[in-house]
Amino acid sequence: MSQDQENFRDTIGTIREDGKRAWVFPKKPSGRFYQYRKYVSYFLLAFLIAAPFVKINGNQFLMFNVLERRFNIFSLPFWPQDFYLFVILMIIGVVFVSLFTVAFGRIFCGWMCPQTIFLEMVFRRIEYWIDGDRGAQIRLDRQEWNAEKIRKRVTKWIVFFIISFLIANVFLAYLIGSDRLIQYVIDGPLHHVSTMISLLIFTAVFYFVFAWFREQVCIIACPYGRMQSVLLDNKSIVVAYDHKRGEGENGRKKFRKSEDREALGNGDCIDCFQCVNVCPTGIDIRNGTQLECVNCTACIDECDTIMEKVNLPKGLIRYASEDEITKKEKFKFSPRLKGYTSVLFILTGVLIGMLFLRNDLEANILRLPGQLYEHKEGNIISNVYTYKLINKTTKDVKDVNFKLISHKGIVKLVRQEDFTVPAQDLAEGTLFIEINNAAIKTDKEKIEVGVYSDGELIETTTTAFLAPRSYK
């Protein structure tokens, strides 16, 4: 492409030359891919809405309680102590998305991203229902404020606000847990003013994003879109315009009845601009792969409809790689793809292994800071500790006590014999460990302590035991 033809890369399709926002009024999509995307979006919307309300073994299916640092993923409870698993999960997520981007471009954006699903499949469809299709929307935007415009605008704003409020509620259920959200609703907002304020702030954010900011999220704010240029290569499959076929020898030309386009050397693109009119990010896909394209497939459907009307083969815009278009090369499993897949398999294996090795009860016994040791009658050395037990299961762990495993000695709980660690909760306290000096070999001995429930060993942990140097 010449410098002039590349000029579109210097600007963003939705920003005018004077720096103001160029509002996009996309034509209502229709066609094969749009229909498939509708089915996928129904499934994903149902999943997103239901996930915080579904429980397995009493655990919310998905929960991200950042404030209390409690997380449930697929009903498996995670605590801050499991943070390393989260990090691995995040790395797997990044590799997975990268792998997909290398192979299939931004397929995730068009088909699975919650931003696209809510915008294109919920808010935009309501807009078409209230304001009409592209032409009617442009007319409504340009017309003076009259009764019709006020009625349509107010109706739309109210419906958008209600949906934003519902999304904010679901979002809150992910954050604080659905049980608590339902309880707050039953109690009434006046009993939980701070939560209500948070809810209204979330509502305002969602309203702003879906009613006004819209495609700007994908173009300006989303880092994934920016990563595209690094990840894509000529073999990546993206929504692409077949410029070889579309431009022919003499370039794109308007359609004329009964003409022989092939003989005239005209390309198959009839320059009808329907692919541009339908694009929700306001770009012309015929300029090539662009940062703004979210691979929504609306232009594929639109161009296919046009091709059908003018009796030309479909697929002028289609899922294709640059090499497929220019060199007629088929999709290959490239070394880069093989590398990403191997890393993905290894990380998934590590994650599964760690999930299986993860204990249901996590025990930590630490020496009380600033305390040394006490010399007691009968040559006994005593150290004082704090303990913290985290029960990650949905059942109480009862009759818990400790026993020394590595040494002969006793563990004395302060103010209790044994105790219960409630389900998905923790128990903390203080204990003394007493060991006869004869059994101690160093001034900082590593000792192993067993955690017992109902007399059964359920976990072991290690800690340090201090003793005076004279005993070595």
Residues forming contacts to ligand SF4 in the complex (CB under 6 A) are: 239, 241, 246, 269-275, 278-281, 283, 285-286, 293-299, 302-303, 306, 316-317
- Compute the least distance from the CB of residue 88 to ligand SF4, in Å: 33
Distance CA 105, CA 102 (A): 6
- Compute the least distance from the CB of residue 304 to ligand SF4, in Å: 8
Q: Using the minimum distance from each CB to ligand SF4, give the nearer residue, 63 or 293.
A: 293
Q: Using the minimum distance from each CB to ligand SF4, give the nearer residue, 279 or 435.
A: 279
Q: Using the minimum distance from each CB to ligand SF4, give the nearer residue, 53 or 224.
A: 224
Helix axes 147-176, 124-131, angle to 10 degrees: 160
3-state secondary structure of 284: coil
- Residue 419 structure tokens: 């105790």
Distance CA 105, CA 293 (A): 10
Could you tell me which of 214, 219, 228 has the C-alpha nearest to residue 97? 228
Q: Using the minimum distance from each CB to ligand SF4, give the nearer residue, 51 or 298.
A: 298
Q: Tell me the backbone φ, ψ of residue 18, rounded to 5 degrees.
A: -80, 5
Q: Using the minimum distance from each CB to ligand SF4, give the nearer residue, 148 or 262.
A: 262
CB–CB of 422/391 below 8 Å?
yes
Torsion angle in degrees (nearest 10) through CA of 378, 466, 459, 411: 30
Distance CA 313, CA 214 (A): 34
Q: Using the minimum distance from each CB to ligand SF4, give the nearer residue, 237 or 303.
A: 303
Please list the residues that pair with 369 across neighbouring strands: none
Q: What single string gives the DSSP state of each residue in 394-456?
A: SS-EEEEEEEESSSSEEEEETT-S-EEE-TT-EEEEEEEEEEEGGG--SSEEEEEEEEEETTE
Counting every residue, how long is the chain?
472
Q: Using the minimum distance from each CB to ligand SF4, give the nearer residue, 291 or 423.
A: 291
- Compute the least distance from the CB of residue 326 to ligand SF4, in Å: 17
- Compute the least distance from the CB of residue 91 to ligand SF4, in Å: 29
CB–CB of 111/45 below 8 Å?
no
Q: Using the minimum distance from each CB to ligand SF4, give the nearer residue, 205 or 220.
A: 220
3-state secondary structure of 239: strand
- Beta strands of 270-415 (E only): which ranges? 317-320, 361-367, 374-376, 380-391, 397-404, 409-413
Q: Using the minimum distance from each CB to ligand SF4, give the nearer residue, 133 or 374.
A: 133
Q: Using the minimum distance from each CB to ligand SF4, give the nearer residue, 311 or 470.
A: 311
User: CA geometry: angle at 162 spanning 40 and 194, to 5°?
Assistant: 110
- Residue 272 structure tokens: 């009808």
145: left (phi over 0), alpha (psi -120 to 50) or beta: beta
- Residue 66 structure tokens: 């950042």
- Residue 336 structure tokens: 């880069």
